[in-house]
Amino acid sequence: MYQYNDDDQTLVNERVAQFRRQTEQFLKGEITDDQFRALRLRNGLYIQTHAPMLRVAVPYGLLSSKQIRKIAHIARTYDKGYCHFTTRQNIQFNWPKLEQVPDILAELAEVQMHAIQTSGNCIRNTTSDHLAGVCADEIEDPRPYCEIIRQWSTLHPEFDYLPRKFKVAVSGASHDRAATQFHDIGIHLVKNDAGEIGFKILVGGGLGRTPVIGQVIKPYLEKKHLLSYLDAILRIYNLFGRRDNKYKARIKILVKESGLENFARQVEQEWQLIKDTHELSDARIEAIKAQFIPPAYQADAAQEGSFAVQQQAHPAFATWVKHNTVTHKVAGYHGVFLSLKAPDTPPGDMTDTQLDTVADLADRYSFGEVRSTHRQNLLFADVKQADLFPLWQQLDAIKLATPNIGTVTDMICCPGLDFCSLANAGSIGIAKEINETLDDMDYLHDIGDVKINMSGCMNGCAHQSVGHIGILGVDKKGVEWYQLTLGGSSENEAAIGERLGPSVAKHEVTQAVTTILDVYVKQRLEDESFLDMVKRVGIDPFKEQVYANH
C-alpha cells in the first residue's frame, strides 16, 4: 500500500499543528463558533447529540495492521473502547473530547493517517472497490488513481469552500462495487477501441434527499488528463453551483438545472483551456503504481488438500466459506469478509480488543493489510486457502465470523438518533430487532442476497434509497416512523427504490420486513433473486401483504 514520503508526512504534521492552534484560539474565544465550525468540520470533527464525533479518513478503504493498532489505541485511550466503520469506508469515534482532538490527530499522523476533509463542503475521501487488485473482473487496479486523486484533493486551495460536499469514487472492475453512479463524480477505468485504458467519467450522482443516478459526461478520457478534467468540473461547480439553498447545492442539482449537455459543454470549454498545462505524466502514474504491487503469492497455494477436508468435517466452516469469502484472481487465495454485523452488535462497530486481534490476524494471514467495505464490513484480501480454517476459528472467537455477508442481516445502518444530532429516528435498535427475529441462518441463506439499508433521517447516510429494502426514519410530531422502499440498487443496474406505501410505526418495522421476505419466498421463481423478483412483479404484491392488516 501507499507509504508517505517526507512531503506527505510534513503536510499532515503541519495540518495537526494548524488545527491545534485553531482549537486553542477557539477555546480562548479568539475565533467565532461559525468560523471554528467550518475549520473543525474540515478536520472531521462534528458536534453530535452527546459528544463530538471524529471521522477519520481511510483512503479508498485501505489500512495497515499498524494503523489498525493505532485505531484500537485511540478507541481505548480517547473514546469508550470502540469505533464505527462508515458506508464511505471511514472510521468514526463517537466520544472524543474536543480539547483532545489535536492529540488524536497527532497520533494518527504517526501512522500516516488523518481526518482531513472528512466533512464540510469540500472534496471528501475518495472511495473505491474493496476487491481492488484481487478481483478477476478488473480492467486495472483503481487504487493508484485513488491515491493520485487523494493528493490532488487534499488541501486544494481553490476547492475547499464549495457550495456543498463533494464525493468521488473510482472503480476498475466491470462489476461496480463502489456505487460510482451515486457519487458527485464516478470514475470507471475502461478500455477504448484501440485497447488503451483510460477513464469513463460520470457526474451528478448522489443519494441523500434527492437521489440521482450519475450520467456519463466523458465516455473516454486519457489518463494524462485526469486531474485537469477534475479541475474543470470542480471550477464550473465552484463558480456556478447554487449557494442559496443547501438542499439544492450539490452538483447533481447544477447538472439537472443546466441540463447535462450544457453542463458538459461548459466543462469542456474550461478543460480545453487548461488540459495542456498540467498533464499527469506516465512517470508519476508509474511511481504511484509501484506502491500497489501485488504481495508475494505462493505459486502452489492451490495444491494444498486440507481445505476441502476441513469443509467436509466442519459444516459451520463450510457455511462460512460459502458466504464470507470471495474468489481471488490468484488460484489458492481467497478474500475473507470479517462480518461487523454480529447479532448483538450495532452494525459497523468494533471494540479495541477486536481491532488488536484483527491487526495480528492480518499480519499472520493477509500480508498485514485490512480493507473497509462500503457495506460496513472488513476484508482480508489475500488469504491462502490453507489458512482459512485457523483464521475462521480465530475470527469466530472474537465474533467476526457471523456467516451473513450479503444476507438480510448484513444491514447498512447509520448511527441514528442514538448518536447523531441530525437523525429523526433510531436505527440501531431496529437493526438489532431485525437481527434477533431473523436468527435462523438457514432461512437467511435460503433468502440469499437481500441488502437492507437503514437511515435515521433524510440525509441518508446509510444509502436507504439504493437498498433492495430501504428503511428511512422520519419524525412525525415527535414520534419515530419509518418509510419503506423496495428495489433500489447501487451496483451496475443502478436504481432508486420505490416507496412501498405509508410509513409504519417503529414496532411494525420488523414485521413489515419479515412480511416482505415471506412474499418473496412464496412468489419467487426458481433461482430468482429478491431484486429480480421486485423488478418482475413490482411492489404491489408486497404492498398488499404489508398493509393487509392496516
Residues that bind other proteins (CB under 8 A): 7, 10-11, 14-15, 18, 22, 31, 35, 38-39, 121, 151-152, 154-163, 227, 235, 238-239, 243, 273, 277-278
Closest CB 151 distance from other proteins, rounded Å? 4
Work out the number of other CB atoms within 10 angstroms of the CB of residue 246: 11
Strand pairing class (333-338; 62-64):
unpaired
CB burial class (10 A; 0-12, 13-18, 19+) of residue 283? exposed
Q: Which is nearer to other proteins, 14 or 286 (CB)?
A: 14
Alpha-carbon distance 343 to 525, whole Å?
30
CB 4 → other proteins: shortest distance, Å?
A: 11
Residue listed under C-alpha cell 472531521? 44
Helix (H/G/I), strand (E/B), else coil: 468:
coil
- DSSP letter for 83, please: E
By beta-carbon proximity to other proteins, the closer residue of 74 and 115 is 115
CA atoms of 127 and 186, how far apart (whole Å): 10
- Grid cell of 432 as nine digits: 438489532
User: Closest distance between other proteins and the C-beta of residue 164, in Å?
Assistant: 11
Find cell 410505526 and name the residue: 505
CB of 33 to other proteins, least distance (A): 13
* Rounded Cα–Cα distance for residues 247 and 210 (Å): 9
Pairing status of strand 452-455 against strand 412-413: parallel
Contact 388, 327 (CB under 8 A): no
Cell numbers for 230, please give them.
477534475
Rg (CA), the chain: 23
Non-local CB neighbours of 495 within 8 Å, separated by 6+ positions: 213, 466, 487, 488, 489
| Calculated CA dihedral for residues 7, 9, 15, 21, nearest 10 degrees | -110
Angle between helices 65-78 and 352-365 (to 10 degrees): 170
Nearer to other proteins, 11 or 106 (CB): 11
Q: Which is nearer to other proteins, 6 or 261 (by Cβ)?
A: 6
Which is nearer to other proteins, 31 or 516 (by Cβ)? 31
**31, 57, 58, 34: which is closest to 47 by C-alpha?**
34
Question: Is the Cβ of residue 244 or residue 300 nearer to other proteins in the bound state?
Answer: 244
Provide the minimum distance between the beta carbon of 47 and other proteins in the complex, in angstroms, as a whole number: 17
Question: Which is closer to other proteins, CB of 121 or CB of 485?
Answer: 121
Shortest distance, position 25 Cβ to other proteins, whole Å: 8
Report in angstroms how near the CB of residue 246 gets to other proteins at its nearest.
10
In the complex, the smallest distance separating the C-beta of residue 513 from other proteins, rounded to whole angstroms, is 41
Least Å distance between CB 35 and other proteins?
A: 5
**Measured between alpha carbons, how far is 511 from 515 in angstroms, rounded to an integer?**
6
Nearest to 398 by CA among 436, 322, 345: 345
Name all contacts of 467-472 with Cβ < 8 Å and 24+ positions apart.
Answer: 467/412, 467/497, 468/497, 468/530, 468/531, 468/534, 469/497, 469/513, 469/516, 470/497, 471/427, 471/430, 471/509, 471/513
The smaller minimum CB distance to other proteins, of residues 162 and 342, is found at 162
Tell me whether residue 244 or residue 442 sits nearer to other proteins (CB atom).
244
Which one, 152 or 389, has the nearer CB to other proteins?
152
Query: Which residue's CB is nearer to other proteins, number 148 or number 386?
Result: 148
The Cβ-side half-sphere exposure at 63, using a 13 Å CA radius, reads: 29
Residues contacting residue 80 through CB under 8 Å, at least 6 positions apart: 94, 95
Smallest gap from Cβ 459 to other proteins, in A, equals: 19
Shortest distance (Å) from residue 424 CB to other proteins:
26
Cα(419)–Cα(273) distance, rounded to whole angstroms? 47
